[in-house]
Amino acid sequence: MNTPLSINSIYRATEGEGQNLGQTQVFVRFQGCAIGCVNCDSKDTWDFPLTGTMAMGEVLAAVIKQDIGNSKRVSITGGDPLHPKNTPSVLELVKELKGRGYWINIEAAGTRIVPEIFDLVNFISFDFKTPSTHVRPNRDLFKKLHEQYLGKFQIKAVIETREDFEATYNFRDELFPEGHNFSWFLTPSYNLGEDFPLERFQNVIEWNEEVGGPFRVVGQQHKWLFGPDKKQV
Ligand code: SF4
């Protein structure tokens, strides 16, 4: 495929949240997202460029250059890498990276399952969108994810309010009444321009404990270290 890819940035950083916390990897951030979470901290990734910005060879060269320890770990993120405008490029990139022995995570907004990509990647990080995002989660997608990709995915939910927590808890209770057998993370929100939200963090831990601790509460370490506004960390 010779079509250029719509890339926002390619950089090396240490994973700051979820199951792969602390793991150094190269992030390939795609440009373009039409989901519109109201509390999005990456609105600079929303616009779709008229044409792609980097050729596949340039993307691969940038990944290899950033991967100084040869960890061969890449996280494909966005924007929305699973928007139909991005999926052909993402699929091609996944194939190229797999062919070079890379372990690949895809950051999925939780609004689409793209089997040809999900089947190939090593790990899927799937968002549960809470009420404060104003995006409605689709039950069927979560069922399908669980049926087809158990063992290679995590769910992440950003929690801003008690309503967010309860919506996540109730959704889980309806979908998995017997409990769930995968990692489901609650990420207390840490919004742009905000001081460290200690009270929110403590509340989320307490709410989770009150119902028996079905979730894992893990914050965004990179924001504690560098502040909520810093990019590429
Ligand atoms: S899916 Fe991600 S990039 Fe898109 S609006 Fe939501 S938080 Fe922002």
Q: Are 53 and 6 in contact (CB under 8 A)?
A: yes
**Is any ligand 1 atom within 6 A of the Cβ of residue 112?**
no
Q: What is each CA distance from 26 to 67, 74, 95, 210, 217, in whole angstroms?
A: 6, 5, 16, 37, 24
C-alpha 77 to ligand 1 mean position (Å): 10
pLDDT in tens, 141-176: 999 999 999 999 999 999 999 999 999 999 999 999
pTM: 0.96
Q: 60 Cβ partners below 8 Å, 6+ apart?
A: 96, 97, 100
CATH class of 7-226: alpha beta
Q: What's the pLDDT score for residue 55? A: 97
Q: What's the pLDDT score for residue 1? A: 59
Q: Which residue has the tokens 């109201």?
A: 38
**Is any ligand 1 atom within 6 A of the Cβ of residue 76?**
no
**Residue 77 CB: number of other CB atoms within 10 A?**
21
Q: Quick one: average pLDDT of 64-74?
A: 95
Q: Locate the domains of the chain by residue range.
A: 7-226
C-alpha 196 to ligand 1 mean position (Å): 21
Q: Is pLDDT of 30 > 90? A: yes
Backbone angles phi, psi at 60, to 5 degrees: -65, -40
